[in-house]
Chains A and B, each alone.
Chain A
Amino acid sequence: MLHYATRRLLGLTLVWAVALIVTFFAVRAVPGDPIMVMLSDHAGDAALEARLRADYGLDRPLPVQFLAYIGDVLNGTFGLSYRYVGSTVIDVIRDGMTITPLLALSALFIAVPLGLFFGVFAAVRAGSWADTGIILLLVTFISIPSFALAALLVWMLSLKLALLPVAGWGSPAQLVLPVTVLVVGPMAVIARLTRTYMLEVLDRDFVRTARAKGVRENRVIWRHALGNTMVPIVTSIGLIFGGLLSGAFVVETVFNIPGLGRIAIDSVLARDYPVTMSIVLLFTVFYSLINLCVDLIYAWLDPRIRFDEAAA
């Protein structure tokens, strides 16, 4: 297990190194001179220009800039923002750093149990009208883009029925719609996977054996059958989490939530590339760590994985 975890950690550092290189060059590949944009009206002021260029380290050779960039990432400032001249990137994104993970993780923790429940519920009633109804609902939930769903829900629940606030951040009521919009897609994906795997497992001999020895039906379904579908479902959670992070961009834009996703989009449009790329870096690290956790849980659930890896 330790051997396996070390190997996976090495793989992670490769991905992080690529992310560092890509973000560094993406900022510098952008056409136009950020210093000239900052100067705008003072374009003729050579002294100011030289000072800004020195502050941003843009007067140094590229390899030195790259080392400085790594230093900025390691000391947690992430360098200087282009839009807010003089502030560090961390000042711009600090408030958002708690919001996006909070949204994504709470959506995940709601989506997984709900998805498992509906998946099992449909599987044990395979072929009935309840099953058909759930399948139709799941296809709809998987299909409808989050921003389209958000538009429909805001119009119906917030404007027509006046039950919930339209947008904003801070009160618990303002959390309901964004989290609902985030939960719906992943929940449907998990439910559909669970249903498929449950149908497969319910046909297996060990389920028949359990029933034959007189285990209560509830226990057969939730422990014997569902327990054996966990491996493929856990593997899919990594992918689902990637979807949740993308969903956060949309939901934060729709509901005007000051999270990392909205800051990233705002800074792409405002050409504040250091901020955008720092958020890209953070998302990549966060996403890869979640995937590492998923892989470790997976290896722990299924010993064949870690032994195969160790033998290879």
Chain B
Amino acid sequence: MTLETSKTDALNAPAPRRGLSDFQIRFLRSRNAMIGSIIVAFVAIVALLAPWITPHDPTKVSIMATWLPPGADHLLGTDALGRDVLSRLIMGARVSLTVALSVLAITMTFGTLLGMVAAWYRGHVDNVLMRFVDIIFAFPELIIAIIVAAAMGPGTFTVIVALALVWWPGIARMARALVLSLREEPFVEAGIACGTPTWRIMWRHLLPNIVSPMIVRASLGVGMIIMAEATMSFLGIGVQEPYPTWGGMIRDGLPNLRTDPHLALSASVALGITMIGFNLLGDGLRDVLDPKSRGR
């Protein structure tokens, strides 16, 4: 979109409906954000309803029905243990999202807290925390995941710990930057002048002001967390059997690609489309939030 068309669009646009913010209007106009949010919403609904909509029990082994090709009874066929692939895909969405949201909850809590403390006290506290953040950034994320997997053994809890460890520094940096600029604001100075306890300033005055930008930007990371979880599960150091994961299904399907491609291919397509959804939503949100990059 060129500058000219965006200007005329803005002029011709009907007066905003009551109740819609500028942000919501721009979001609804962004094609990327809309397509992305439709895909993400679909995956989220599937994950939420997974136990009720799987056509078969995703963990039920059936040695009489291994490697069935896609057909009427099993829409996407069965795997090496005769488990229904479609049911495992649906359940896999739930596993992935559960891991991603757990990681997000943990890192948002600790990252925000540590970032706020660093920005509030500055000086030595800030220095020590930020050097620590720098050191974590100096390791490639999969390397951290491998150290954790080696020390704790593969498993769902390992994935959550490893990804939380990789993820909190970014959140802490963001919270720190937001609080650093906020603490110069008059309402914070007023709070200090009135003798409000520090924890109360943080909880009642700073937190509400940083929470919405933090949530928006952190949610952009959900896609990357899902990708990291899938990679760990693919490598065999992530979520373990009998829980179905897309990464694990691709790993199981690869050796049989020649004779029974349906397992690896359906999981690859599901993961690929989900990632495209998250990335489109992320790009769209970034465009909407940062007017400078709009139209690009």
Q: Which residues of A contact B (CB under 8 A)?
A: 14-15, 18-19, 22-23, 26-27, 29-31, 126-127, 139-140, 142-145, 147-149, 151-152, 154-155, 159, 166, 195-196, 199, 242-243, 245-246, 249-250, 253-254, 264-265, 268-269, 273, 276-277, 280, 283-284, 287-288, 291
Contact = CB atoms under 8 A, between A and B. Distances in A.
Given A151-B265, A151-B268, A268 B146 contact: yes
B230 interface: yes
A152 B265 contact: yes
Top 5 nearest A-B pairs (CB, nearest first) are A148-B268, A246-B142, A143-B275, A242-B140, A143-B276
A126 B5 CA distance: 14
Given A127-B2, A147-B250, A148-B272, A276 B150 contact: yes
B92 to A, nearest CB: 13
If over half of B's interface residues share one DSSP class (helix, strand or loop), that class is named, otherwise mixed; here it is helix
Interface size class of B (residues with CB under 8 A): 35 or more
A145 B231 CA distance: 8
Given A23-B147, A265-B237, A245 B231 contact: no
A139 B283 contact: yes
B247 interface: yes
If over half of A's interface residues share one DSSP class (helix, strand or loop), that class is named, otherwise mixed; here it is helix
Interface string B1-16: 1100000000000000
| Residue with the greatest number of chain A CB neighbours at <10 A, chosen from B151, B227, B236, B278 | B151
Given A15-B135, A143-B279, A199-B296, A30 B234 contact: no
Given A30-B151, A159-B261, 17 more contacts: A18-B138, A26-B150, A30-B150, A139-B280, A143-B278, A144-B276, A145-B230, A147-B254, A147-B268, A154-B254, A199-B296, A246-B143, A254-B254, A265-B236, A273-B150, A276-B150, A280-B143
B28 to A, nearest CB: 20
Nearest to A140: B276
Interface in B145-163: 146-147, 149-151, 153-154
A199 B230 CA distance: 34
B60 to A, nearest CB: 25
B135 A18 contact: yes
B126 interface: no
A277 B153 CA distance: 14
Contact of B141 (A14, A127, A246, A254): A246
B2 to A, nearest CB: 6
A143 B265 CA distance: 16
Interface of B: 1-2, 135, 138-143, 146-147, 149-151, 153-154, 223, 227, 230-231, 234-237, 247, 250-251, 253-254, 257-258, 261, 264-265, 267-269, 271-272, 275-276, 278-280, 283, 293, 296
Contacts of B141: 242, 246
B143 A269 contact: no
A267 to B, nearest CB: 8
B234 to A, nearest CB: 5
A27 B143 CA distance: 14
A284 B279 contact: no
A117 B208 CA distance: 45
B250 A280 contact: no
29 contacts: A18-B138, A26-B147, A26-B151, A139-B276, A143-B278, A144-B272, A144-B276, A145-B234, A147-B250, A148-B250, A148-B272, A151-B265, A154-B254, A155-B257, A166-B258, A199-B296, A242-B140, A245-B140, A245-B142, A245-B143, A249-B231, A253-B251, A265-B235, A269-B236, A277-B150, A280-B143, A283-B143, A287-B138, A291-B138
